[in-house]
Amino acid sequence: MTTTTTRNHYADRVGTADWDAVKTGLDDVGCALLPQLLTPAECRQVIALWDEPDRFRATINLRRHRFGDHGDYKYFREPFPEPVRALREALYPRLLPIARDWSEKLRWEAEWPETLQEWLEECHRAGQAKPTPILLRYEPGGWNALHRDLYGDKVFPLQVVLNLNDPGTDHTGGEFLLTEQRPRAQSRGTATLIPQGHGLAFTTREKPVRSVRGWSRGPVRHGVSVVRSGMRHTLGLVFHDAA
């Protein structure tokens, strides 16, 4: 299969999403499920990359850095495996209109070009040149603290995570957690069990919240609940690079 054919294959899957519904979910709660973007066989192939050290530029242990426990994640180095590159390139233009709508509502001083490559070139000129796609692995008892994936001043406000295992079969627990700090109110939490191969789009830093004066910023953080049994692997696709 040629590279172009493979890219189109992933782009076709991304195109099957109901993007109006995705926008509604992101607007309402800060996250939205996407359709199956990887087959079970493709998920296993991505998981197998864990044991190929030359694929990665860095490994982070959650306990050592007090980011969580019983888990690690690895940053891919370029060139990326085809699913990582193709999905990232296909998802960016679909998320771009939502990012621009949020930017207008919240008056962000940010503009994003039409293609991911152009945007990453802007990141690199700003000193953010380290790749950010990651492969994460959680063992029994593993969890990830609430956080934001911010690596510099250049930020794309949406990102995607794919679950590479079959929840309920390969692992129990390990829900994706998202908390939204609400104006003059307690924070709201959302827990999502992501089906195998499916993606979840979610906000990186904050989302628009309607207020009496129009729109205000609702700070958002994400994490992972305790994996009670089995192993959980995920693929994280961030659309800005790191300093």
- For residues 48 and 125, the answer to whether their CB atoms sit within 8 Å is no
| Spatial separation of the C-alpha atoms in residues 69 and 61, rounded to whole Å | 8
| Spatial separation of the C-alpha atoms in residues 141 and 63, rounded to whole Å | 12
pLDDT of residue 182: 79
- Residue 129 CB coordination number (10 Å): 14
Residue carrying the six token digits 């628009």: 208
- For residues 178 and 31, the answer to whether their CB atoms sit within 8 Å is yes
pLDDT of residue 2: 41
Fold classified for 3-237: Jelly Rolls (2.60.120)
Q: What is the DSSP letter of 88?
A: H
Residue-wise pLDDT tens digits, 168-218: 999 999 999 999 987 777 889 999 999 999 999 999 999 999 988 889 999
CA–CA distances in Å: residue 33 to residues 57, 83, 159, 162, 174: 29, 18, 12, 10, 16
User: Residue 12's Cα: distance from chain center in Å?
Assistant: 19
In the chain, % of residues over pLDDT 70 = 97
Residue-wise pLDDT tens digits, 53-109: 999 999 999 999 999 999 999 999 999 999 999 999 999 999 999 999 999 999 998
| Spatial separation of the C-alpha atoms in residues 151 and 166, rounded to whole Å | 30
The reply to whether the predicted model has a pTM over 0.85 is yes
Instruction: Give the domain ranges of the chain.
Output: 3-237
